[in-house]
Amino acid sequence: METVGAAIARCARVLGRAGVHFGHGTDNARDEAAELVFFAAGIAHKAGARAYLRPLSLRHRRRVDELLQRRMTERVPLAYLTRRAFFAGLELYVDERVLVPRSPIAGLVQRRFHPWIGARRVRRILDLGTGSGAIAMACARSFPRAAVDAVDISAGALAVCRRNARKLGLTARVAVLRSDYFDAVRGRRYDIIVSNPPYVGRAEIRRLPREYRHEPKLGLAAGADGLDAVRVILAGAHRHLSDGGILVVEVGNSERALLRSFPHLRFIWPHIDMGGGGVFVLRAQDLGANLEIGQ
Ligand SMILES: C[S@@+](CC[C@H](N)C(=O)[O-])C[C@H]1O[C@@H](n2cnc3c(N)ncnc32)[C@H](O)[C@@H]1O
C-alpha cells in the first residue's frame, strides 16, 4: 500500500513533469502535491509530517489520482478542485466565482500594517474588490476591535464572501456589500482601505498560463495598462480615509506603469517577509484631490 509520503512524492513528480503552472496558493510541485494528497485523504494540515507514514486506502488513492488527472488535463487550479484555500492562517471556501486568494497583502495584515498605522486606533477597514473575502476576514481577525466593509461588484463573489464570513464566525464585524468600488460607501471614512483589485494589462492577460482562464476575468483584467481599477481607487481614496489612515493596494507587475502615471505620489513599497511584492502603502496625507487627474 502506498503511504501518504510516497503519494506526495509521486504526485510532485507527475505535476513537475506535466509542466502545470503553480501560482494559486502554492509555488512548487511538492507543496501542491501535499495539499492534494492531504485533501484527498481527509488529513488535517496540522498532522504535518507525522501523517507521511500512514498508508493510503484504495479509496483515497483513487481520489488522489482523479484530482491529479483533472489538475493536469484541465489545468484547473487545485483550490477549485478542493474548494478550499488557505490565507493568513485561515481556511476559506472558494469556487470559480472568486479569484483563488494569494495576495502578499496577507503578510502585511498579519503584522497589522506596522509601522504605517498604530493597530490600537484601527476601528474601520474597507476591503475593495473583496472576492472570497480573504483580506477582509484576515483583517477582521487581526483587528478584533474593527468593523470591516467587504465590497465587490460581483454578486457571485459576494455569495462566496458571505459564506466565508459565516464559516469563520465573523458576520457581526464583516459587512458584505455590493458596490462599484466606493459607490455604496459614500460618506464613510476608514482607517485602512485595502485592495487587491484587478491589475492585469491587456497584453499580459493573453500570456497568462491556462490555469488563470478558470478564474473570473473580472478579477484580473484592468484595461490596456492594468491600471483602470487602481486609478479609480487612487481618485476616491482621499474622500474615504480618516486622518492618519492608510491605503494599501496590490498592483503586481503594473508597478512600473503606476510609477510612470503617478510620478508625484509618495508610494511606500513594503518588503514582505513571506515573499511577493508589488504592494504599495500610501498615507492619507499623501493623497489628495489632485489624484483625480492621474493619467
Ligand atoms: C484580483 S480579485 C481579488 C479578490 C480578493 N481581494 C483576493 O485578494 O483574493 C479583484 C476583485 O475585484 C472585483 N472587482 C472588479 N471590478 C470591481 C468594481 N468595479 N467594483 C468592485 N469590485 C470589483 C472582482 O470581482 C474581484 O473579486
pLDDT at 295: 46
- Which residue from 209, 211, 137 is spatially nearest to 176, judged by alpha carbons? 137
CB 197 within 8 A of CB 222: yes
Q: Ligand 1 pocket, 226 CB below 6 A?
A: no
The domains found in the chain, sorted by start residue, are 4-82 (no CATH), 96-293 (3.40.50.150)
User: Does the Cβ of 198 fall within 6 Å of ligand 1?
Assistant: yes
CA distance 180 to 268: 26
Instruction: Select from 93, 94, 97, 99 the residue to mutate for testing ligand 1; criterion: most ligand atoms less than 8 Å from CB.
Output: 99
pLDDT score for 289: 52
Whole-structure pTM value: 0.96
Give which of 283, 268, 273 is closest to 238, Cα–Cα.
Answer: 283
| Backbone conformation region of residue 11, classed left if phi is above 0, alpha if psi is from -120 to 50, else beta | alpha
Instruction: Decide whether any atom of ligand 1 lies within 6 Å of the 183 Cβ.
Output: no
Instruction: Give mean pLDDT in consecutive 10-residue pieces for the chain, a chain of 295 residues.
Output: 96 96 93 97 93 96 98 97 97 98 96 97 98 98 98 98 98 98 97 97 93 95 94 97 97 93 95 84 84 49
